Structure 1
Amino acid sequence: MTNLDFELLRTVVQTGPHPLFATVSGAHLYGFPSPDSDVDLRGAFVLPVPDLLRLQEPQETITITQSCAGAEVNWVAHDLRKFARLMTRHNGYVLEQLYSPLVVHGGPWLEELRAIGQGCVTRHLYHHYLGFAKAQRKLLTKPAPTVKELLYAYRVLLTGIHVLRTGEVETNLRVLTQHHPQPGIAELIKWKWTPWPSL
């Protein structure tokens, strides 16, 4: 799916606990969706009080997968306590979700979390992006790496460079290459649409 139907996506995020916020992540956020791309929804919710008062540990993460308009939609959300814990541990994934401009469900909670999140955008994110970049580089050493894997490698490297230089969490590869030009990115994005799976 390349064009997002936000009304349809709102029905998906309402199938679990009431969300504090829900945003689009993955290829759509990164600026290179293709017709076969899944839609990745991420966010946070608050566990009901009875769930917190039980003896067993509550379920801190929900995962819901639905088929919508011919595309698979994956809705993954963390309880607010877990989401805050990940933020304070300089987890770039949750910060990217928090600052995604593709908002499916927002409001005062999202604005407040974004304000709090600014305190988590520090140089310690270097470790997150370095680890992620190493993992992506390893994928590129296997036989027949894909265009998608190369785009993900560029995306994570440029996001890491950008956030460390500016303090801004930017994940869209098209926007990132305006600030940090890299020859060949536009061509790679076009190739992702072609039937050829490998480089």
Structure 2
Amino acid sequence: MQTIILNKLKQIAAANRIQLLYACESGSRGWGFPSPDSDYDVRFIYIRPLNHYLAVQESQYQLSFPINDELDIYGWDLRKVLQLMRKSNTTPFEWLQSPVIYDQRPGFREDLWALCPHFFSQRSNMHHYLGIAQGAMDTMQGDEIRIKKLFYVLRPLLAAKWCLERNSIAPMEMAPLMVLLPYSLRQQVQELIDFKATAAEGYMIRLAADLRSFIAQEFASISAASASLPRNEFETERLDAFFIKTLQEYNDNSRNETERLAAAGMCER
């Protein structure tokens, strides 16, 4: 599958005349609890030539493609990513932490990740994760829930708890978040992760009373705590500087490559 994904990314870059800066896995394979029928959630960040950003007409800053049985792939322009970071959107924070990287320009991930803590809003991140957890909780049927949806409750709930208690960007993966579980629940949750690795995502499970109680109590207490947190506003100077620097590097590299190819053509003649 790795080869298929890399070939698809190359085709996308060539067809859309973009430079890929970073491509990773997002979703259950990146979170650390895939099922046998989990698809591949490939996400990428790209940049275009300078003139694209100087046009009067506003452009679309994302690329999406039909989802097939195995591959769900889309990407965002760097400009969109930086705009979302200014709002402390959790998605760029998570992409940059992915343990599965398909492609990256040297140094890009590290440089952009270094900016992220400057745009962390405890309130915004907690509200995002609580919203995901609530949506998954709404699918419960009594004390039963699809195993996929259970982890759409647990991971964001623990991520919100991390943001509250540690006041920092939450890890993307489930494993480091599990330190926030009561010791009595860690083995139970690990067994559910192990079971999910062999079960279809739609498999229904019955939640144990102690796990149900933990989810309900934590959701209520974190929600109450988030309500009193301040709203954050962030300036754009760091993001503007990063965008300009990356854009200049892209255009310098493109110009050098064009000159190299032109010189090679002249030599052949």
SS in 2 for 1:15: helix
What runs of 5+ residues in structure 1 fail to find an aligned partner?
Answer: none
Offset at 1:39?
A: 0.7
Alpha-carbon shift at residue 136 of structure 1 (Å): 2.1
Counterpart position of 2:122:
123
CA 1:137–1:46 in structure 2 vs 1: closer, same or farther (change >3 Å)?
Answer: same
Matched residue, 2:59: 58
List runs of 5+ in structure 2 lacking aligned partners. Answer: 13-17, 206-269
Name which of 6, 9, 22 aligns with 2:5: 9
User: 2:11 and 2:4 mapped to 1: Cα distance?
Assistant: 12
- Between Structure 1 and Structure 2, the one with more strand by share is 1
Alignment of 1:194 with 2:193, yes or no, is no
How many aligned residue pairs are there?
192
The within-5 A match list for 1:1-199 is 5-16=1-12, 17-65=18-66, 72-106=70-104, 107-124=106-123, 125-141=125-141, 145-166=145-166, 167-181=168-182, 182-183=185-186, 184-192=188-196, 193-195=198-200, 197-199=203-205
Q: Provide closer, same or farther for how the CA distance between residues 112 and 55 of structure 1 changes in structure 2, counting only shifts above 3 A.
A: same
Q: How big is each residue's C-alpha offset from its partner over 1:17-68, in whole Å with a ceiling of 9 and x where there is no partner?
A: 321111111011111112211111113111333433444431211123576x
Give RMSD over aligned pairs.
2.5
| Alignment TM-score, normalising by the size of structure 1 | 0.82
Shift of 1:144: 5.7
Deviations 1:109-135 (A, max 9, x none): 211111111212231322222222222
Q: 1:126 to 1:194 in 2, by over 3 A?
A: closer
Q: Deviations along 1:128-173, whole A, 9 cap, x unmatched? A: 2222222222222589631110111101111222244332431222
**Larger-Rg structure:** 2
Percent identity, please.
28
Q: Which residue identity lines up with residue 152 of structure 2 in the other structure?
A: Y
Could you state the TM-score of these two structures normalised by the residue count of structure 2? 0.63
Whichever structure has more helix as a proportion of its residues is 2
Instruction: Return the letter of the residue paired with 1:73.
Output: L
